[in-house]
Amino acid sequence: MKELLIKLLAFLGLAQAGMPLQEGQPAYLFTLKNHEGKLVSLTDYKGRWVVLYFYPKADTPGCTTQAKEYTKLMPQFEKLGVKVFGISTDTVEKIAKFRKKYNLSVEFLSDPEGSVAKAYGVTLIAGFCSRDTVIINPSLKVEKIYRGVDPSSDPQRVLDYIKNKVKS
């Protein structure tokens, strides 16, 4: 049903589906501005696990829940050397305000054109990202992709996945 709705919205010009990126492929290398307006490049994190979680819009209920859950688990992610980025089409100013308002420790990146989202196969509906999470391994390859995630359980599932990979 969801796929049919996205196809209908795409037909009407309201949605753009990204090309599906496959697990095991090289990660799309990007540079975006963070919530402080500083440029952040994925290549700077080679050798570390990286989580890219795409969310629709800052300061909405689901996005706030997801960001708070990642923030709550951040000490565990950091202990494993994992870098977590929240990415949306929001402006730098909007994500900075969102981060400050809720005292969030996630590093947010602004993808105003949605080019990074599209590269990772994230669907854009009326300019907003679908809620997808991409885990990138230390070799900068796409390790795991979760599409249409639940904002409250996604952070724990991602942490558990990486913990299991680090153990093996």
**Catalytically annotated residues:** 63
Strands 107-110 and 83-88: parallel
Helix (H) or strand (E) holding 133: strand 132-136
142, 36 Cβ separation under 8 angstroms: no
Nearest Cα neighbor of 51 from 161, 125, 152 is: 161
Q: What does the block give as tokens for 144?
A: 């795991």
Coil/strand/helix, residue 136: strand
Yes or no: say if 158 and 133 are a contact pair by the CB < 8 Å rule: yes
